[in-house]
Every structure is written in C-alpha cells, then in structure tokens.
C-alpha cells in the first residue's frame, strides 16, 4: 500500500469511528475549507484541514494525496473524487440491489435513466408544486432525476452515477440487511 492509500485508510477509519455521518461531516468540513468554491484543495489546505481533525501529514504526504486525486493536472485535490475514495467499498448484496433499482427505472433498457424512463415508473402529478401550478410534472421528474446525476446535470443518469449516489448512502447504513431492506422498500423491488 502506498503512502496516499495508507493516508486514505487512516482517514476512512477516523471517519467511520465517528459513526454514520463521519464521511458526510468530513465532506462539509472540506467544503468549508474550499473558500473559493473550486471544489478542490491544494496540499497546504489539505494538510492544515486534516491537522485540525487530528490527522497530521507531512508536506510530501499531503502532496501525494493531492496528486492521487488531481483530475486535471493542476496539483489540486478534487474534493468529490477524494470523498468518493473515502467511502468504504460496497458488498455484492448492496451493489445488486442498487442495480435492481436502476433496472426498474431504466424502462428503455439503454443503460441511461431519463425523464422519459421515469414517466413510465413514477408520476409527479400529486407533488404539491405541480398541484399548485408552480412546477410542471416534467420539472418534478427532472429535479428528482437530478438527485442521482453527477455535478454536471445533463438529464441522464448512468448506472455508475446511480451507484455513486448510493455508495454515499451506503456508507451511513451499518448492515447489508438494513441497506437491502431500505432499497427494497424505497424502490418497491
């Protein structure tokens, strides 16, 4: 295991020791450190932030972590990629129930969920904002879909984006049984 991986393992263990909201709390903390809203941190910001949390890194370790999750070669750590790496891996049972929920939504079977797919599964007519005339049913479905979409909202959700969304949820659910029961109930599988 290289230094960047070992650092992430230490940070993951620290987050998980704080309970279900540990990684979410870390995400909020890092977003506060990101004063310019670039969704990235330089090695100095990362080093100072982690030190505040009790995880001391030397400059080389902080730079190594930044390099590992540097999307564009800028030397900056991409916060979303880094936070995604902190999430514990999901079990096969969790991955399977997520895939089943996605398949239910993907009515066309093309591997992408769109508003058209959602229309075949859900209705937004009863939403309070549709009933009041503030939104259309199309807007309700689009906003619902946006929950699962990546940061670049394109109206199309892939299985990878859906899995990414639920890996964040998964990190806050202790057992496979609880996660599977929650997904089965929520998606009426």
24-75 pLDDT, tens digit per residue, is 677 777 778 777 778 888 888 888 888 887 778 888 888 888 887 777 788 8
CA dihedral sign of residues 162, 97, 18, 56: negative
Under 8 Å between Cβ of 142 and 119? no
* pLDDT score for 56: 80
CATH number at residue 183: 1.10.238.10
pTM for the full predicted model: 0.70
Total domain count, the chain: 2
Under 8 Å between Cβ of 102 and 108? no
Distance CA 117, CA 48 (A): 45
What's the mean pLDDT when you consider all of the chain?
A: 84
* Ranges under pLDDT 50 in the chain: none
Q: Do 53 and 24 reside in the same domain of the chain? A: yes
* pLDDT score for 110: 96
**Given 86, 110, 145, which residue is the final one in a domain?**
86
Query: Looking only at Cα atoms, what is the longest distance across the chain?
Result: 57
Q: Do 65 and 140 reside in the same domain of the chain? A: no
Distance CA 50, CA 62 (A): 9
Using DSSP's 3-state secondary structure scheme, residue 132 falls into coil
Q: What residues contact 92, with CB distance under 8 A and at least 6 apart?
A: none
Domain span holding position 110: 92-187
DSSP tag of 151: S
Q: Do 68 and 24 reside in the same domain of the chain? A: yes
The first and second tokens of residue 157, run together, are 């959700």
């Amino acid at each position: 295991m290289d230094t960047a991986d070992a650092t992430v393992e230490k940070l993951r263990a620290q987050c998980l020791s704080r309970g279900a909201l540990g990684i979410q709390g870390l995400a909020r903390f890092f977003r506060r450190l990101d004063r310019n809203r670039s969704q990235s941190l330089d090695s100095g910001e990362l080093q100072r932030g982690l030190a505040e949390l009790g995880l001391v890194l030397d400059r080389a370790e902080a730079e190594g972590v930044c390099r590992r999750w540097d999307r564009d070669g800028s030397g900056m750590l991409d916060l979303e990629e880094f936070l995604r790496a902190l999430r514990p891996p999901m079990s096969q049972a969790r991955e399977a129930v997520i895939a089943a929920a996605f398949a239910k939504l993907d009515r066309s079977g093309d591997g992408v969920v769109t508003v058209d797919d959602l229309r075949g599964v859900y209705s937004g007519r009863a939403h309070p904002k549709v009933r009041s005339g503030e939104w259309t049913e199309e807007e309700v479905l689009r906003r619902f879909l946006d929950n699962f979409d990546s940061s670049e909202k394109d109206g199309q959700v892939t299985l990878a984006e859906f899995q990414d969304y639920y890996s964040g949820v998964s990190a806050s659910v202790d057992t496979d049984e609880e996660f599977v029961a929650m997904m089965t109930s929520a998606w009426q599988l």
